[in-house]
Amino acid sequence: MRLSLPLFYGLILLFLSPLSAWAQSESETPKPKPVRVSGGLNAYAGFYQASGIENRNQTTPFGLSASATVSLPGGISLPFSVIVGNQGASFRQPFNQFGISPTYKWATVHAGYRNVQFSPFTLASHTFLGGGVELNPGKLRIGAVYGRFNKAISTDLANPDQAIPSFKRTGYAVKLGYGSAANYVDVVLLNAADDTSSITGTQGITPARNTVLGVTSRLSLANKNFSFEMDIAGSAYTRDTRAQLVPLSDKPLMKTFNLFMPAQLSTQLTTAAQLGLGYRSKNFGLKLQYKRIEPNFQTMGSYYFQSDIQSFTIAPSINLLNSKLRIIGSLGLQQDNLAKTKNAQTGRKIGSLVISYNPSNAFGIDFQFSNYGISQQAGLRPIIDTLRLAQNNLSLMANLRYSIQNEAFSHLFTLTGTHQQLSDLNNTTSAFTQNQNQNINLGYFLTELALGWSANAMVSYTQTALPQDQMVRFYGPTVGISYPLLDKKLNTSFNASYLINQQLGVTGKVINASLNASYQLGKRQSLNLQLGYLNSNTGQPDQKFNELRGSLGYGISF
């Protein structure tokens, strides 16, 4: 669907005119907001040289880029951009998918391409082309949207792989609830279906229909110390609307869904739920969560989420020593094969711990730990030991920081170390999958407070132990400095790094350096210079190359 410019501006005026009328009724002297245009124009030219490899850029790149943003009354912004040069040309504008959601007091209107969320298991930010309203007068919560969720796409028989066919899909969602933004209970209904006449033939796909009924709630209890979260939904999904009708089930839930769509042989009713209960005080917090999503649960109001999953999570948090010491933890259990139809059931154990200690503004230390385990149990069939999946992922991170500051300088020292380990508990496959990774970074950052110049230096070391006793190492320094000149009209910076890598007894090196300068010609004009050098030597005779590039640019903003 393409909108002509007169129709496009007509729609804008149509949706903004009621809001303007309401605003005028509230004020005797309304002040209309003018249309504003802002943007910039940039031109650049440069050079590129390479030896040892084929050129990865134009030898003399040049180009012109322009951008403009039109700001209309009602908070609407229309960005445009164009790039022209010997590296290619492009143009971007917002009219392929344009939408507005103006708000006045307790009323919001949606028009065009929009993403609206009523609940996680019903309408969950799926893009649709249409319209809708959300009304919140007092404690009443009302919402309704209608539009096209998928457009019709036909495949080209000559090039069948260029497009994925789909039917035109239209639907609506309504919400009725009571409460505020922090305390509410909403009931949501979504109904959508494919139009079988929107494309010629079936082209290998089947038309579908979906009705979802859900309840979502967020509540604060007992002086806001306790919180409760609930999202529950049932989805009746028909995968082929041409399938034979089936007699109506006596179950009350099926009768409810039958009011909106008929039951067919390809109709499946599934449920999803997630519940959370939390407690929060000044120095202690605890949250319990439960999630269960049945196999094949789907909603046409969401693109994708994991199904066939059940999980339990407990997450405590503690503040000690006047909040100088914070401890946050999480422990969870997760499994699939809820319908007991898979050959194997996979279980996961997830644990994490974060400790942060900040005794003063000058000193602090953070520690993070996470452990993720996965294992399998027999389902419909026994599991062969050589194929059993049993792994454990361990991750540790520690960060130490110390700062010194006086009237002239600010000094910051950082030390960061990480350890990651994959342990395969299956002796048959462990020789091919186990690995470890360690990394350590020592950094120093200096800032001169009066003139505003800064410098930094860092040394890093990384080693990875791969299967079959292979070891890979990377280490080296990085330095940088930035310095303002000419009353801060000229800003300069230089960065360089020297990285050594070792693998299979071969030592290589990579040198990378860059120089940048920006001069402010006036309030809206600037000159920019960029130079870069790369020298790569992997240690192999045929894998050495150099690159040198630079560019000079001029920019003006309006």
- Which pLDDT tens digit goes with each residue over 384-426? 555 566 678 889 999 999 999 999 999 999 999 999 988 776 6
Between the alpha carbon of residue 37 and those of residues 71, 421, 488, 557, the distances in Å are: 6, 53, 28, 11
Question: Where are the extended beta strands (E) located within 239-283?
Answer: 267-280
Tens-digit pLDDT profile for residues 321-377: 999 999 999 999 999 888 888 877 888 889 999 999 999 989 999 999 999 877 766
| DSSP per residue, 126-164 | EEEEEEEEEE-STTEEEEEEEEEEE--B--BTTBTTS--
Is the separation of the CB atoms in 308 and 341 below 8 Å?
no
Listed in sequence order, the residues at least 6 apart from 227 whose beta carbon sits closer than 8 Å to its beta carbon are 218, 219, 220, 221, 276, 277, 278, 279, 280
Global pTM value: 0.78
Is the separation of the CB atoms in 422 and 458 below 8 Å?
no
Tens-digit pLDDT profile for residues 428-458: 666 667 788 999 999 999 999 988 999 999 9
Cα–Cα distance, 549 to 338 (Å, whole number): 58
> What's the first-to-final CA gap in the chain, in angstroms?
33
| DSSP per residue, 540-558 | STT-EEEEEEEEEEEEEE-
The three-class DSSP label of residue 223 is: coil
The yes-or-no verdict on residue 12 having pLDDT over 60 is no
The yes-or-no verdict on residue 4 having pLDDT over 60 is no
Tens-digit pLDDT profile for residues 222-249: 778 999 999 999 999 999 999 988 876 6
Query: Taking the CB of residue 236, how many other CB atoms lie within 10 A of it?
Result: 24
Tokens found for residue 271: 């449920």
Give just the sign of the alpha carbon dihedral 119, 295, 424, 331. positive
